[in-house]
């Protein structure tokens, strides 16, 4: 249930409702908007809440059930867009967030070279996996903690915050020590223990959509993270499995507009995994910006043919620069901004 307070309801009135809702056995989440406060009553017995007759309490405008199975992630509970600060950029508002870098951390020099390349090209954050979820156990699995150290060095050198995947509950603490954003991969979108664990970490979470997940399942995964207290969740559409074989996945841009209508959380797009082919990545990045995504996560490598993972979908410097140019032009038409990277030049 949500209890929507009137405009101008006092703090004492809000506190009174919060106490009564808690005493009735509900968990309480407050959403303090610019105009009004919304109190989310989570769990508990609805009948008990109904008996409290909160509609009649001073300061209350209305009490309504949240019909969606996700509550904290729902726009009903939090009508305004959630803004998440990452490094010098605000994700989820008018500014468009660009995260770029190689699929995996391949080594120190390569990562530093890639970090400088994407920083100079205008990216706001660096991506690269130290722990890689590979379909084959014989493929390159990532450098693990050594890779995390290189990521931290790349951040120190370029000023770019770092987005990297965590695959295992046992690694969350370790990855959170190095990363600015914890990425949950498509294959782990319904790894509920992992979702709960990152929900207890003090880092924003980038939650990839499961490759066969519905939008509702994706939002329920976000709800798992949020229900542990971490409300800093960024959703990432990365393509879904369909009958199509011409592309690696089918990038579902309709999911961006649908998800943004259902949730206040930022929604970004990964055109690289979304299409799986280098020659189509720039066009889909443009389409993501046009569709109203809050940003893109894109695989970029100084020499993409040499990439140790996902080479076929990784773009090189020229395509990256073209992409940034095109995306900026589209954002301008839409009255949005591609902020200058807040990077430190070293
Ligand atoms: C990645 O970003 O490199 C990755 C493994 O993504 P996904 O989980 O979407 O396949
Ligand atoms: Mn990849």
Atom of ligand 1 nearest to the CA of 297: 2
**How high is the pLDDT of residue 10?**
96
The yes-or-no verdict on residue 343 having pLDDT over 60 is no
Instruction: Average the pLDDT over 253-264 and give the result.
Output: 98
239 lines ligand 1 (CB under 6 A): no
CA of 200 to the centre of ligand 1 (A): 22
* pTM for the whole structure: 0.95
**Do the Cβ atoms of 271 and 300 come closer than 8 Å?**
no
Ligand 1, atom 6, residue with closest C-alpha: 185
Atom of ligand 1 nearest to the CA of 184: 8
Name the least confident of 47-51, 88-92, 153-157, 216-220. Answer: 47-51
301 lines ligand 1 (CB under 6 A): no
pLDDT cut 70: percent of the chain above it = 98
pLDDT above 50: residue 159: yes
Model confidence pLDDT, tens digit, residues 102-144: 999 999 999 999 999 999 999 999 999 999 999 999 999 999 9
Question: In this structure, which residue's CA is closest to atom 2 in ligand 1?
Answer: 103
Q: Is 195 helix (H, G, I), strand (E, B) or coil?
A: helix
User: Which residue among 100, 103, 128, 167 is best mutated to probe the pocket of ligand 1, counting the most ligand atoms within 8 A of its Cβ?
Assistant: 103
**Mean pLDDT, rounded, for 19-31:** 94
The H or E element spanning position 223 is helix 215-227
- pLDDT given for residue 346 in this prediction: 43
Q: Please give the number of the atom of ligand 1 that sits closest to the Cα of 104.
A: 3
Confidence bin at 210 (pLDDT 50/70/90):
very high
Atom in ligand 1 nearest the alpha carbon of residue 238: 9
Q: Which residues contact 208 (CB under 8 A, 6 or more apart)?
A: 183, 184, 185, 186, 189, 236, 238, 270
Ligand nearest to the Cα of 131, by number: 1
pLDDT at 342: 54
Q: What's the pLDDT at 41?
A: 94
Has residue 45 got a pLDDT over 90?
no
Q: What is the pLDDT of residue 44?
A: 85
- Sorted by sequence, the CB contacts under 8 Å of residue 172 that are 6+ apart come out as 166, 182, 194, 197, 198, 201
């Amino acid at each position: 249930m949500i209890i929507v307070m009137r405009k101008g309801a006092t703090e004492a009135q809000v506190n009174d409702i919060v106490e009564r809702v808690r005493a009735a056995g509900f968990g309480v989440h407050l959403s303090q908007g610019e105009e009004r406060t919304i109190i989310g009553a989570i769990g508990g017995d609805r009948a008990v809440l109904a008996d409290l007759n909160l509609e009649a309490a001073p300061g209350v405008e209305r009490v309504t059930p949240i019909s969606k199975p996700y509550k904290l992630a729902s726009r009903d509970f939090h009508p305004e867009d959630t803004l998440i600060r990452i490094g010098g950029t605000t994700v989820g508002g008018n500014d468009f967030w660009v995260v770029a870098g190689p699929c995996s951390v391949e080594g120190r020099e390569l990562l530093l070279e890639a970090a400088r390349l994407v920083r100079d090209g205008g990216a706001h954050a660096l991506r690269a996996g130290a722990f890689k979820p590979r379909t084959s156990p014989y493929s390159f699995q990532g450098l693990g903690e050594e890779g995390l150290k290189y990521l931290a060095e790349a951040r120190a050198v370029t000023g770019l915050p770092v987005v990297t995947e965590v695959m295992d509950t046992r690694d969350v603490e370790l990855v959170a020590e190095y990363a600015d954003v914890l990425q949950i991969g498509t294959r782990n979108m319904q790894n509920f223990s992992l979702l709960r664990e990152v929900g207890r970490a003090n880092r924003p979470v980038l939650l990839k959509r499961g490759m066969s997940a519905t939008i509702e399942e994706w939002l329920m995964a976000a709800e798992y993270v949020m229900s542990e207290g971490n409300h800093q969740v960024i959703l990432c559409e990365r393509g879904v499995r369909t009958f199509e074989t011409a592309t690696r996945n089918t990038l579902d841009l309709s999911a961006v507009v649908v998800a943004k209508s259902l949730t206040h959380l930022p929604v970004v797009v990964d055109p690289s995994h979304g299409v799986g082919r280098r020659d189509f990545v720039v066009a889909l990045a443009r389409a993501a910006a046009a569709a109203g995504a809050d940003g893109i996560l894109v695989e970029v490598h100084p020499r993409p043919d040499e990439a140790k993972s996902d080479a076929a979908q990784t773009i090189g410097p020229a395509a990256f620069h073209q992409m940034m140019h095109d995306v900026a032009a589209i954002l301008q038409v839409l009255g949005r901004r591609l902020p200058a990277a807040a990077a430190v030049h070293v």
